[in-house]
Amino acid sequence: MLAEYLPTLLFLLVALGIGIALIVIGNLLGPKTPTVEKLSPYECGFLPFEDARLKFDVRYYLLAILFIVFDLEIAFVFPWALVFRELGVFGLIEMGVFLALLFIGFIYVWKRGALEWE
């Protein structure tokens, strides 16, 4: 049974070897001309005016989480649309309940002001 996994293991080892070899060859043979400009952090052509380790407002994280939640909704809607005819009315009702719950969640988030910016 373990012999079935041998091609997968071989593939992973070859991929790992190629990846490491390319990094090592690039470091050994690549040009090394570090300058102040190359070593400085890039910020749209401006000098960095603050430390990069500042705390972000929690609204950025909240908006990112909301985006992920409503984006994952599409991951359920597309497969449902592909098998819509086989599911019939029961599938339509299930998806209606799913979308209604998401819509209620969206209205709740909207009313709580999570989508408002100052």
pLDDT tens digits, residue range 45-101? 666 666 667 777 777 888 888 888 888 888 888 888 888 889 889 989 999 999 899
Cα→Cα distances 37→34, 41, 93, Å: 8, 8, 60
E strand or H helix that includes residue 80: helix 58-82
pTM score? 0.48
pLDDT for 30-55, tens place per residue?
988 888 877 776 666 666 666 667 77
- Amino acid (1-letter code) at residue 33: T
| Structure tokens belonging to residue 84 | 């819509």
Q: How far apart are CA 89 and CA 98, in angstroms?
A: 14
Domains of the chain, earliest start first: 2-111 (1.20.58.1610)
Q: How far apart are CA 40 and CA 92, in angstroms?
A: 56
Q: How confident is the model at residue 25 (pLDDT cuts 50, 70, 90)?
A: very high
Q: How far apart are CA 39 and CA 26, in angstroms?
A: 18
* 76 neighbors 65 (Cβ within 8 angstroms): no
Q: How far apart are CA 106 and CA 118, in angstroms?
A: 20
